[in-house]
Amino acid sequence: MTGTDHAVLVLRLAAPLQSWGGPSRYNRRETRPRPTKSGILGLLAAAEGRDREAPLTDLVGLRLGVRVDQPGTLLRDYHTYSDYHGVPLLSAKTNAKGRQTRTTPAKYTGVTRRFYLQDAVFVAALRGPKALVQSLEEAVRTPVFPLCLGRRSCPPTGPVSLGVRTDSPLKEALEDVPWQAGGQRRRQARGTTVSLEAVIEDPAGDQTAVDVPDTFDLKTGTRFGRRDVRHLWVTVPTGHTQPAHPDPDTGAGRYPDHDPFALLGW
C-alpha cells in the first residue's frame, strides 16, 4: 500500500571503485555484486553525521530496492601492510594473559586481497516515512561526513541524490528512473529499451539477504539480520528513438532484446 505519508528517496551510486562487503574477513575482503542495505544505511548515517553508537532503528525500517544499471567488472587489489614502528606483526596466537604475541620467526609484512567493483552504476530506492526521507535527502546533498560506496577509499562520482519521489511501490520507483549507465554502455545498447536486474525488499520474497545492521559501533561489532528480497527485471528506455540497424559484418543489433550474458553481469 502507498500513501501521502510515505515517499521514496532515489540515489545514484556510481564511482570508479565500489566495494560492498560480504561475510569475508581478515586477509580476504570480498565484495558483493550489488550494494548492501548495511552499506547504504552507513552512507545515510554518515550524511546525517550520526555517531557509530547512534541507534539505527529508523533507518533499518526503510524498504530498499536496487537496480543494476551498469554491473561493472571485478577488480582484485594486492595489498600489503606493516607496523609503522617497524616491529614484527602480531600473530594469531595469544599468551596466558590473552594478548596477541608477535610472529615467530618475525614477519614484517602482511598481505591482504581486497576486491572491488570497477565502473559500476546502481540506482537505489528507499521507501519510508516522508519526513525521514526528506531529511535524508537533504543530508545526502550536504553531508556532514564524506560519503563513500562501501569503503572509505571509494568516494562517489557526481551527485548521489536523484531526489525524492511521491510514494510508490519499489518496482515502480525503479522503473521511473532514467537509465544511469555511462556513455560507453549506453552506446552499446541497440534497442529503445533495456532490461535491468533489480532486487527489492519484499516480505513475500523468495530469497533472503543477510545485510541488516544492528549497529555500527566498533566496540560491540555489527551483527547482521535477515530480510526477504525478490529478484526481478525492470525495463527502462535507452534514449534511442529507434533500434540500431544490424551491422552486416558483425550482426550487432540483429537481436536487440536478447542478451545471453545479462544474467552473468557481463
pLDDT of 256 reads: 47
Residue numbers of the chain with a pLDDT score lower than 70: 1-3, 22-26, 243-266
pLDDT of 35 reads: 97
User: What digits encode the pLDDT tens for the residues 24-40?
Assistant: 666 788 899 999 999 99
- Beta strand 73-81 with 28-29 is unpaired
pLDDT of 265 reads: 52
Domain that holds residue 162: 6-75+117-264
| 76: phi then psi, degrees, rounded to nearest 5 | -105, 125
pLDDT of 13 reads: 98
pLDDT of 73 reads: 95
pLDDT of 148 reads: 96
pLDDT of 260 reads: 59
Q: Return the CATH number at 235.
A: 3.30.70.2660
pLDDT of 244 reads: 53
Q: How many domains in the chain?
A: 1
pLDDT of 123 reads: 98
Q: Is residue 220 part of a domain?
A: yes
Q: Is residue 99 part of a domain?
A: no
pLDDT of 111 reads: 84
pLDDT of 239 reads: 85
pLDDT of 255 reads: 47
Q: Is residue 109 part of a domain?
A: no
Q: Is residue 92 part of a domain?
A: no
Q: Is residue 102 part of a domain?
A: no
